[in-house]
Amino acid sequence: MAELFKALTVEEARAVLTRYLPTKKTVTKVPLLESLGRLLAVDVRAAEDVPGFDRSTMDGFAVRAKDTYGASESLPAYADISGEVLMGHMPQGKVGAGRAWRISTGGMLPSGADAVVMVEFTEELDKKSILITKAVAPGENVVRKGEDIAAGEIALPAYHRIRPQDLGMLSSIGVTEVDIILPIRVGIISTGDELVAPFESPAPGQVRDINSYTLFGAVAACGGVPQYHGIVRDNHEELRNVLEKVIADNDMVLLSGGSSVGARDVASEVIDSMGEPGVLFHGISIKPGKPTIGAMVGDKPVFGLPGHPASAMVVFDLLVAPLIRSGEYSVLEKDIYMDYPLQAEIVRNLHSAAGREDFIRVRLFLREGRLCADPVLGKSGLIATMVKADGLAYIPAGKEGVEAGEIVRVKPF
């Protein structure tokens, strides 16, 4: 075992993991529309200017800006209509002095023109001439060639997670296939002699497996590919056999249930026997979630998550989710502040031990326009407490609790 087993802080646990995590990535190509939510494997550069020409952002008239200088409602400028821009076509001809071409939003600016007067600020005298009632500056109501993105610029950087607007950007530069980082495959095992599958009827003393299902959802929700490997008995040999296969088939493994320091806790010993460096820590100073095992078997992270459903989800969120999201295990040092972005007024006093980070399940509601957080009471063994909650409130290690009315940081589910 590589480390002493004192309870680490979240920051220390992240640091230990980061030290051992690999920086490999597996790249694959997917069609543009399938790349949503995936991580870019490489910088994507624009091969050409977007747009490829100066473009009107308004319906109106393309003009030489200087011909409009001083124009107002009381003293409009006069212009001859000498052409019309057809959408999708290059205008044939040039806008001369005192001339105006009809143009629609998105039309290509004809040569000679350097601005567009909005139709609202023109008055058609007849089919051949207009009055302009407001001056325009050069470039006004025009998107310049390459203004959206210029040839050679990085449109999106490697490791960027592709959002809807990014699909639009990629489309605009003609990218129809995207190199993405292959999502992390996460094997999920529940351990416990008392567990049965959801389709089974539990006998007295038995309960249905909860954690495999919450973890399956949590892995999928942060962009991983969950693989459910079933329930394993609290037995060295059985766990060893299953774990060997699951480690081989996945990039990461989540065990839950076997991490209590109880009589039947075999997870730590088995994980540690699977390969170097083995178990890195056993216990983190948070509530809920203390009895957590963090390990590396070769280049694969293996976590022993607490058996209590709420605890398992809190630990998942703190240590596992960032790994799955990052693609290259690169964001473990991320500021927790950004992970708990809401500010809410806590409505009850809460106790917390100094030196321990607390994660409180809360209901969120509005009172007179202020966001309030009401702690959900109940043990961390109850999945109902997570179901009733809208998010987690964070109490830093330095605090010994919060008083009703204090502002806390909250992460919404």
Of residues 351 through 370, those in contact with a copy of itself by CB under 8 A are 366, 369
Among 88, 128, 367, 368, indicate the residue that binds a copy of itself (CB under 8 A): 88
CA dihedral 264, 268, 272, 273 (to 10 degrees): 10
Residue with tokens 């026997």: 273
Does 396 engage in binding with a copy of itself (CB under 8 A)?
A: no
Does 143 engage in binding with a copy of itself (CB under 8 A)?
A: yes
Binding residue count for a copy of itself, defined by CB under 8 A:
104
Which DSSP letter does residue 65 get? G
Does 147 engage in binding with a copy of itself (CB under 8 A)?
A: yes
Are 156 and 40 in contact, with CB atoms under 8 Å apart?
Answer: yes
Pairing between β-strand 44-45 and β-strand 60-63 as defined by DSSP bridges: unpaired
Among 113, 116, 169, 253, indicate the residue that binds a copy of itself (CB under 8 A): 169
Among 53, 66, 240, 399, indicate the residue that binds a copy of itself (CB under 8 A): 53
Among 234, 272, 358, 374, indicate the residue that binds a copy of itself (CB under 8 A): 234
Does 318 engage in binding with a copy of itself (CB under 8 A)?
A: no
Give the gyration radius of the chain's Cα atoms.
30
The one segment of 8-16, 22-30, 33-41, 392-400 that binds a copy of itself by CB under 8 A: 33-41
Neighbours of 240 (CB within 10 A): 16
Q: Which region, left, alpha or beta, applies to residue 384 given φ > 0 means left and ψ of -120 to 50 means alpha?
A: alpha
Does 113 engage in binding with a copy of itself (CB under 8 A)?
A: no
Does 377 engage in binding with a copy of itself (CB under 8 A)?
A: no
| Beta carbon nearer to a copy of itself, 274 or 359 | 359
Closest CA to 182 of 255, 253, 248, 250: 250
Among 41, 132, 210, 243, indicate the residue that binds a copy of itself (CB under 8 A): 210
Neighbours of 204 (CB within 10 A): 4
Closest CA to 125 of 69, 80, 72, 68: 80
To a copy of itself, the closest distance from the beta carbon of 173 in angstroms equals: 8
The one segment of 179-187, 273-281, 296-304, 376-384 that binds a copy of itself by CB under 8 A: 376-384
